Amino acid sequence: MSSDARGWRIALIPDALINPPARADAVLPDVLLVLEASGYGVLQLPPPGEYGPLLAVIADQVAEYAHHGYAVVAVGVRGSSADGLHWRRLAPLLRKRGMALPPRHLIRTDLGAAAEQQRLARFLSDYDLPAEEQRHWRV
Amino acid sequence: MTHQDSGSGSTPGTQQEARRKVALVANCLLNQNAKVCQGAHYAGAVTPVVELLRERGYRLQQLPCPELAFAGVRRWWAVYEQYDTPAYRTHCRRLAQAIAPLIEQYLRAGDEVILIGLDGSPSTGVRFTSSNPDWGGRPNRPQDDWQIVPGRGIWIEELEAELARRGLPPVPATGWGLDMGRFDKAGARRDLENFLNERPGPAGTDGEGSSRS
């Protein structure tokens, strides 16, 4: 094996966007499809509930990526409980691990799936680390 | 691809929902950035696995990556014997205890839960793991001198042990053969399809009533 296809970009994604409710097609974009087309890997957040130890494990992984040249973003759902990202719990865990908070994109449920799909794709394609950092890490 | 899921998107395990299909998937099946250097075959998710599971109506539940959180993104390649240490097993147990409550909710609710690991991986192998008792020291091994042997990886062993400690039934499991030396995409797909074909009929048809579409 001599080549490596990794995309160096990762998105934190709520459970509700990976496993959307039935009949959500008209409202929510197919996020996994957009992420794949944009070359992003997925880190899945748990569904709503108390999952403190799991959030800490996820924060460990996010920090490891962020400290080694990977671009990390978060995609939530506007208006759902805490965006589906457990942000109030997760953000302090990330800060404690010495990382700047990843940029957040919130999907709106009032604009239609097609428009939101385009908006998400634009956000994902526009974001990456500065070229200098990419050159440093991505050899 | 359309949304195939028919769960509610709410906290799993509520009584009102029909029996769901849940696939626990190795972290790197949704995120190839977790792979060891030179091990990534896709930019992000392993598309055929995601497609197969979604086509058949499985919810996806990603597992944590034990190697990334332990030895980092710049870790060396390793075999089963090198990770078979008390410290790594303790680490895997911490991860298992973190994800187990979520899995337990699905199982206690009567959902169909399956596990898709990564065959050939020292940590996440299900049917096969990688072995070479001689590996160690300066990382200058010749290429491909490890063996693919039947057996679980360390992480899967510890995850299954944690579920058993909670009195939960064994989860039917298979692996996607990404770490088997030469990756046989068609063979991996056939194996996963066969595994899924052996599962019981569609969820929601067990007489509990259904609000599924």
- Residue B119 sits in a domain whose CATH number is 3.40.50
Q: Within a domain: residue B119?
A: yes
Mean pLDDT, chain B, rounded, equals 86
Q: Do B44 and A7 touch (CB under 8 A)?
A: yes
Q: Residue B188: which domain range?
A: 21-138+154-197
Q: What percentage of chain B reaches a pLDDT higher than 70?
A: 86
What would the pLDDT profile of A1-18 be if each residue is shown by its tens digit?
Answer: 458 999 999 999 999 999
pLDDT at B209 over 80: no
pLDDT at B134 over 50: yes
pLDDT at B5 over 90: no
Residues linked to residue A13 through DSSP beta bridges, in sequence order: A44
Give the pLDDT confidence score for residue A81 in this predicted structure. Answer: 66
Q: Is B212 on the interface with A (CB under 8 A)?
A: yes
Q: Is B102 on the interface with A (CB under 8 A)?
A: yes
Cβ atoms A20, A106 nearer than 8 A: no
Range A9-35 average pLDDT: 92
Q: Within a domain: residue B122?
A: yes
Backbone region of residue B60 per phi and psi (left: phi > 0; alpha: psi in -120 to 50; beta: other values): beta
User: Domain count of chain B?
Assistant: 1
The Cα A93–Cα B102 span in angstroms is 20
Residues linked to residue A72 through DSSP beta bridges, in sequence order: A10
pLDDT at B20 over 70: yes
Give the pLDDT confidence score for residue B4 in this predicted structure. Answer: 44
Q: Within a domain: residue B9?
A: no
The Cα B133–Cα A32 span in angstroms is 40
- Put simply, whether the predicted model's pTM sits higher than 0.95 gets the answer no
Give the pLDDT confidence score for residue B138 in this predicted structure. Answer: 85
Q: Within a domain: residue B191?
A: yes
Q: Is B7 on the interface with A (CB under 8 A)?
A: yes
Q: Within a domain: residue B6?
A: no
- The amino acid sitting at B200 is P
pLDDT at B39 over 80: yes
Q: Within a domain: residue B147?
A: no
Give the pLDDT confidence score for residue A82 in this predicted structure. Answer: 66
DSSP secondary structure of B87-112: HHHHHHHHHHHHHHHHHHHHHHTT-E
pLDDT at B32 over 90: yes
Q: Which of A10, A25, A41 sits opposite B3 (nearest CB)?
A: A25
Mean pLDDT, chain A, rounded, equals 93
- All structural domains of chain A, each given as residue ranges with its CATH number in brackets, are 9-137 (3.40.50)
Distances from the Cα of B69 to the Cα of A64, A136, B15, B44, angstroms:
7, 22, 35, 18
In three-state form (DSSP H/G/I as H, E/B as E, the rest C), the secondary structure along A68-123 is CCCEEEEEEECCCHHHHCCHHHHHHHHHHCCCCCCCEEEECCCCCHHHHHHHHHHH
Helix (H) or strand (E) holding B21, with range, is strand B21-25
Give the pLDDT confidence score for residue A139 in this predicted structure. Answer: 78
The Cα B39–Cα B44 span in angstroms is 12
What would the pLDDT profile of B63-95 be if each residue is shown by its tens digit?
Answer: 999 999 899 998 988 999 999 999 999 999 999
pLDDT range class, residue B137, cuts 50, 70, 90: confident
Q: Within a domain: residue B205?
A: no
Beta-carbon contacts below 8 Å between A and B: 145
Q: What is the dihedral of CA B201, B206, B209, B211, to 10 degrees?
A: -20
Cβ atoms B53, B25 nearer than 8 A: yes
Give the pLDDT confidence score for residue B9 in this predicted structure. Answer: 44
Helix (H) or strand (E) holding B206, with range, is none
The Cα B39–Cα B178 span in angstroms is 9
DSSP 8-state code for residue A41: E
Give the pLDDT confidence score for residue B211 in this predicted structure. Answer: 37
- List all residues 6 or more positions away from A38 whose beta carbon is below 8 Å from its beta carbon: A9, A121, A124, A125, B44
Give the pLDDT confidence score for residue B56 in this predicted structure. Answer: 95
The Cα B37–Cα B74 span in angstroms is 7
Q: Is A1 on the interface with B (CB under 8 A)?
A: yes
Q: Which of A21, A41, A57 sits opposite B45 (nearest CB)?
A: A41
- Probe site for chain B from A12, A34, A57 (most B CB atoms < 10 A): A57
pLDDT at A65 over 90: yes
pLDDT at A134 over 90: yes
What would the pLDDT profile of B148-207 be if each residue is shown by its tens digit?
Answer: 999 999 999 999 999 999 999 999 999 998 777 777 889 999 999 999 999 986 544 443
- What sign does the CA torsion over A55, A56, A61, A63 have? positive
Span of A28-42, B5-19, B93-107, B165-179 with lowest mean pLDDT = B5-19
Q: Which of B11, B40, B50 sits opposite A47 (nearest CB)?
A: B11
The Cα B39–Cα B204 span in angstroms is 38
Residues linked to residue A11 through DSSP beta bridges, in sequence order: A42, A73
